[in-house]
Amino acid sequence: MNLPNLLTLLRIFFVPLLVAALLADGTFLAGLETQIGVSHEIFAVAIFLIAAVTDLLDGYLARRWGQVTTVGMLLDPIADKLLISAALISLVDIHRVQAWMVILIIGREFAVSGLRSIAATSGYTISASELGKSKMAAQVTAISLVIGSIRWPSLVDAAAIGMWVVMLFGIVSAADYFRKFWRKVDDQIKHRRRRELLLLQRQQRKLRAAAARAAGAELRSPSTNL
């Protein structure tokens, strides 16, 4: 188990801790809050941002150290979606984010993941686009603002704008993934039809050659009998 994979697993470990902090009642972290002034909102923001930093570090270190593994490629997107989905669903539960926005955001994640899985089984890869990376950065910023607005109401407007930006990036990047997927599928269908047409032409040439040989044999057979 290398360090990038450990960071990915650490991000998954942070998910239940983040949910506990967001859904905490007044007794959660009471000791910390009274002793050093750390409220559960600040704790939740810290956990979320640390988890987001591990998302940047694991990919960077894996590429830099040549430690890209199949396990890491499978776990990394799962960890990302767990973190974002858990945070958004928890914020819906405490009435900080509208449910329909979260449904669209998470639905978009499942749809894109499904497209990339279908593409992978067909033998080609749809890599993460710049729009997708910008979407992730927008999600981290917006969710951090929403969590922060629980303690600092002055951030409410900025948090609302951030969520709308996340929606915009999500829709645009999803359209870009669908475009790439359709182009790949269209190219694959054209390539398959071209191969089928070439195979059919070869078979027709073979049939014509066989027919020509048979006709030649029939023409030669009478003269042989004479």
Q: What tens-digit pLDDT sequence spans the chain (226 residues)?
A: 688 888 888 889 999 989 988 887 555 555 555 555 567 788 889 999 999 888 888 877 877 887 777 777 778 888 888 999 999 999 999 999 999 999 999 998 888 877 777 776 766 666 666 676 788 889 999 999 999 998 899 999 999 999 999 988 888 888 888 887 777 766 666 676 777 777 888 888 888 777 777 777 766 665 544 4
Decide if 21 is inside a domain.
yes
User: Same domain, yes or no, for 91 and 156?
Assistant: no
Of 47, 77, 95, which residue sits at a domain end? 95
Note the pLDDT of residue 78. 85
pLDDT tens figures, 153-200? 999 999 999 999 998 888 888 888 888 777 776 666 667 677 777 788
Q: Give the pLDDT score at 123.
A: 66
Is 164 a domain residue? yes
Given this model, what pLDDT does residue 146 score?
94
Does 130 map to a domain? yes
120 and 178 housed in the same domain: yes
Which pLDDT score, from 0 to 100, does residue 129 have? 64
Q: Is the dihedral of CA 70, 8, 141, 100 positive or negative?
A: positive
pLDDT at 38: 65
CB-based contact 48:21 (threshold 8 Å): no
Same domain, 71 and 114: no
226 within some domain? no
Predicted local distance difference test score (pLDDT) of residue 48? 92
In a domain, 74, yes or no: yes
Residue 1 in any domain: the answer is yes
In-domain check, residue 214: no
Is residue 40 included in any domain, yes or no? yes
- Spatial distance between the Cα atoms of 100 and 76, rounded to a whole number of angstroms: 26
Q: Within this chain, do residues 83 and 172 fall inside the same structural domain, yes or no?
A: no
pTM for this model (two decimals): 0.74
Range of the domain at 37: 1-95
Residues 6 and 70 in one domain: yes
Q: What is the pLDDT of residue 135?
A: 81
From 95, 119, 142, the end of a domain falls on 95
**C-beta of residue 86 within 8 angstroms of C-beta of residue 23:** no
Q: Are residues 64 and 110 in the same domain?
A: no
The contacts of residue 5 (CB under 8 Å, 6+ apart) are: 58, 67, 69, 71, 72, 75
Last residue of a domain, one of 28, 62, 95: 95
Number of domains in the chain: 2
What distance in Å separates the CA atoms of residue 172 and residue 87, rounded to the nearest whole number? 22
Residues 110 and 46 in one domain: no
- Which ranges of the chain would DSSP assign to H, the alpha helix? 3-22, 30-35, 40-64, 70-93, 99-121, 130-151, 156-225
On whether both 53 and 117 belong to a single domain, the answer is: no
Task: Indicate whether 81 and 68 sit together in one domain.
Answer: yes
Helices (H), 23-98: 30-35, 40-64, 70-93
Q: Are residues 105 and 52 located together in one domain of the fold?
A: no
CA distances from 224 to 9, 96, 211, 220, 221 (A): 84, 97, 20, 6, 5
